[in-house]
Amino acid sequence: MINETYKDMLSKKSVIRELSEFATKRGEEIGYDNVFDYSLGNPSVPAAKEFNEAMKELIDSKSSMALHGYSPSLGNPEFKKAVADSLKRRFGLDYKPTHIFPTSGAAGAIAHALRAVTKPGDEVIVFAPFFPEYNPYITGAGLKMTVVEPDTKAFQINFDKFVRKLSSNVKAVLINTPSNPSGVVYSEETLKELSKILKEKSKEYGFNIYLISDEPYREIVFDGKVCPYPSKYYDYTLSCYSFSKSLSLPGERIGYVAANPADPDSETIINMCGQISRGTGHNCPASIIQQACAKVIDLTSDLSVYETNMNLLYDELVSLGFEVVRPGGTFYIFPKALEEDSVSFCKKALKYDLILVPADSFGCPGYFRMAYCIDTEKVKRSLKALREFVNKEYK
Ligand SMILES: Cc1ncc(COP(=O)(O)O)c(C=O)c1O
């Protein structure tokens, strides 16, 4: 008998994927250059050249076993050490290799973190607007996803609503800073308040509520700023990282879970990740990719194009009268649609070859997302289409 749950999921295809498929089809008709495709969060800049050089050097210098053999089940020692040293240097927490578990991107990291600190039937809180894949990540682990309504003024955390959703069923809170889709970076004040509430409630319930911090955009921060590091504010934090966006390596499937050294259970949790892998059929990322990442641990691709694109779009959106919070990072911007029904808004935009994503699946109807990981030249050309769309349909 086939599994009805996964079969049902087939009829609930991702809106983002559908729009991206539409963009590809439209591109075949009018040339992809003329389709302003703001649908997919696929990095548009090449992988850092140092990463490719590291791969070549590894292939030329190491044995087949070292390159292509099984990774130790808790990860390659060079990778774990490079990550721990880098986090310690950058954020001042006393990470050791035993606090690091390599995973298949942030998705793999979240899958391990969730399973390590919950059991089926527990609740996990997320804050709207959230990355739509959180739904399958959480429900796929047998957990219930509880959504806290958005703070649409700043897209920080709506703490009154958060406190009302907390109960002794909630075992973990999943945050994402900088955020896909809002582009907002959680401030220090937000992280301090979140930590204060989690400490109080953990004491009240008699167990530690874990903070799972999804950080694939940690390195894409604007105005020369640094994203406040959530683990610094709360000991029971599992940082879930990915090299997909910072090094433009989404196809290599590499990331990690970093357990906060201040948590007395941190090393146990990392050891447990090895057991979770056994149960889910996951194995550590490819040995060669772990080794190459270890060699370029503090580098990124040239990410400057995302800030250039953000400024162009933000200024245009504001001048057209959109309500929009200025992103502090990522390659997403999240304006309020010009009509209540953002699906209808995004459908009208298609007439102008603008592919925008309605935010219903992000838990924030009435808004839309633009993923501006595209060439700046195309962003500039799209501004004319955006102006025409707004003026013809809404003025
Ligand atoms: C917020 C967020 N979390 C997790 C992921 C998954 O990242 P990865 O592809 O590295 O698994 C993404 C990917 O776009 C994302 O935007």
> To test ligand 1's pocket by mutation, which of 14, 126, 214, 331 has the most ligand atoms within 8 angstroms of CB?
214
pLDDT of amino acid 60: 98
Q: What is the CA radius of gyration of the chain?
A: 21
- Total domain count, the chain: 2
pLDDT of amino acid 16: 80
Protein residue with least CA distance to atom 7, ligand 1: 106
- Can you list the residues of the chain whose pLDDT is less than 50? none
- Based on the domain organization, do 174 and 190 belong to the same domain? yes
Q: What three-state secondary structure class fits 125?
A: strand
pLDDT in tens, 251-275: 999 999 999 999 999 999 999 999 9
Residues with CB under 6 A from ligand 1: 41, 105-107, 131, 176, 180, 214, 216, 242, 244, 250, 255
pLDDT of amino acid 14: 76
CB contact burial 1-29 (16+ within 10 A = b; e otherwise): eeeeeeeeeeeeeebbeebbeebeebeee
Q: What angle do CA 279, 285, 290 make, to 5 degrees?
A: 145
- Based on the domain organization, do 34 and 148 belong to the same domain? no
Give the structural domain span for 255.
49-295
- Based on the domain organization, do 36 and 84 belong to the same domain? no
- Based on the domain organization, do 42 and 154 belong to the same domain? no
pLDDT of amino acid 112: 98
From 253, 280, 295, the end of a domain falls on: 295
- Based on the domain organization, do 313 and 258 belong to the same domain? no
Residues in the chain: 395
